[in-house]
């Protein structure tokens, strides 16, 4: 099943080429604040599922092409991100550490946006903003201290995720925290529709240039390990997002570009890039040029 938000925050599921509104089933109004209806849906999904399946059989819905999709999880309690989790990316960045020894960092939920939004570049002359393609893992149940062999009991589904970053040597979270720097979507696909999450091909294009291509089997710290590590440190809640880290091929984006990410059995989305006028800060006054080592 594919869970979406659409047209100003309503909750729906995608059935073939149509979106079926299920906001009333989960007792959610698009005006609700904070917008945690999707979190409630994830938490009690097995209770809601028969009603959703019945609705999909009887409701006409709207054409997917006629709705505006939003971020499928507007209000997670946290986004847990693993840096340098592919060896090839570590090599191109000249990083000696890997995620299995370095741990994770947190991105703010305010950095989230959806498949119908834009990536807004901040006003930081002398700095590049880079794309990073990643798989997003959605937590389905409140948990702590999850054993790696039990990880599947706590994963609700998956989504495409872009981790945008201002390159530099300043604090990583600061450089990744701008609004629109964490697009996810186009939906959350439930785990039962992804037969082998350890063998998913992922690709990213900027305009028509293929920049990144990898498979989740190449992760340094695998999905069970990421759930185990994050839950060893803190309680995870329904709707929390784990970002798996990016493979090699990161690079700059500019005003007018289009970034497209595709992950097998999960989905595909494209977002335009625009140059914004906000985001200037004294932290980024000094120019910075990253020299990426590209493999021959």
pLDDT tens digits along 259-288: 999 999 999 999 999 999 999 999 999 999
**Fold of the 79-281 domain:** Fumarylacetoacetate hydrolase; domain 2 (3.90.850)
SS3 annotation, 55-113: HHHHCCCEEHHHCCEECCCCCCCCEEECCCCEHHHHHHHCCCCCHHHHCCEEECHHHEE
Collapsing DSSP to helix, strand or coil, 73 comes out as coil
Find, among 98, 104, 79, 137, the residue nearest to 218 by Cα: 98
Average pLDDT, the chain: 95
Unique residue bearing structure tokens 């039962």: 192
Q: Quick one: average pLDDT of 231-244?
A: 98
In tens, the pLDDT along 71-102 reads: 999 999 999 999 988 877 767 777 776 878 88
Rounded CA separation 29/26 (Å): 9
Amino acid 90: pLDDT: 63
Unique residue bearing structure tokens 């990426």: 292
* 131: its two tokens: 């794309």
Per-domain boundaries in the chain: 2-70, 79-281
Amino acid 67: pLDDT: 98
pLDDT over 80 (residue 143): yes
Kindly report whether the peptide bond that precedes residue 191 is cis, defined as omega within 30 degrees of 0. no
Radius of gyration, alpha carbons of the chain: 19
Q: pLDDT grade, residue 294 (50/70/90)? A: low
Q: pLDDT grade, residue 296 (50/70/90)? A: very low
Q: What percent of the chain has pLDDT over 70?
A: 98
Task: Give the count of beta carbons closer than 10 Å to the beta carbon of residue 7.
Answer: 17
Backbone angles phi, psi at 248, to 5 degrees: -65, 165
């Amino acid at each position: 099943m594919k869970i979406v938000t659409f047209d100003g925050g309503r909750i729906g599921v995608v059935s073939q080429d149509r979106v079926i509104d299920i906001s009333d089933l989960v007792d959610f109004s698009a005006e609700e604040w904070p917008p945690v209806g999707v979190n409630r849906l994830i938490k009690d999904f097995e209770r809601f599922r028969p009603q959703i399946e019945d609705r999909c059989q009887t409701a006409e819905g709207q054409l997917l092409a006629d709705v505006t999709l939003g971020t499928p999880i507007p209000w997670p309690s946290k986004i847990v991100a693993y840096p340098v989790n592919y060896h090839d990316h570590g090599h191109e960045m000249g990083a000696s550490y890997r995620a299995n020894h370095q741990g994770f960092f947190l991105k703010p939920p305010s950095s989230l946006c959806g498949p119908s939004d834009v990536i807004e570049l901040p006003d930081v002359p002398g700095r590049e903003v880079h794309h990073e393609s990643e798989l997003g893992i959605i937590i389905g149940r409140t948990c702590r201290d999850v054993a790696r062999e039990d990880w599947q009991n706590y994963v609700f589904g998956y989504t495409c995720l872009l981790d945008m970053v201002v390159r530099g040597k300043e604090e990583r979270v600061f450089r990744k925290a701008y609004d629109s720097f964490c697009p996810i979507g186009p939906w959350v696909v439930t785990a039962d529709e992804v037969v082998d999450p350890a063998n998913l091909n992922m690709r990213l294009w900027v305009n028509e240039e293929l920049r990144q291509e990898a498979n989740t089997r190449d992760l340094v710290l695998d999905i069970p390990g990421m759930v185990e590590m994050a839950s060893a440190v803190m309680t995870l809640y329904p709707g929390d997002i784990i970002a798996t880290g990016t493979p090699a091929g990161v690079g700059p984006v500019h005003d007018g570009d289009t970034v497209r990410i595709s992950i097998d059995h999960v989905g595909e989305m494209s977002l335009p890039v625009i140059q914004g006028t906000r985001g200037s800060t004294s932290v980024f006054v000094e120019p910075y040029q990253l020299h990426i080592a590209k493999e021959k």
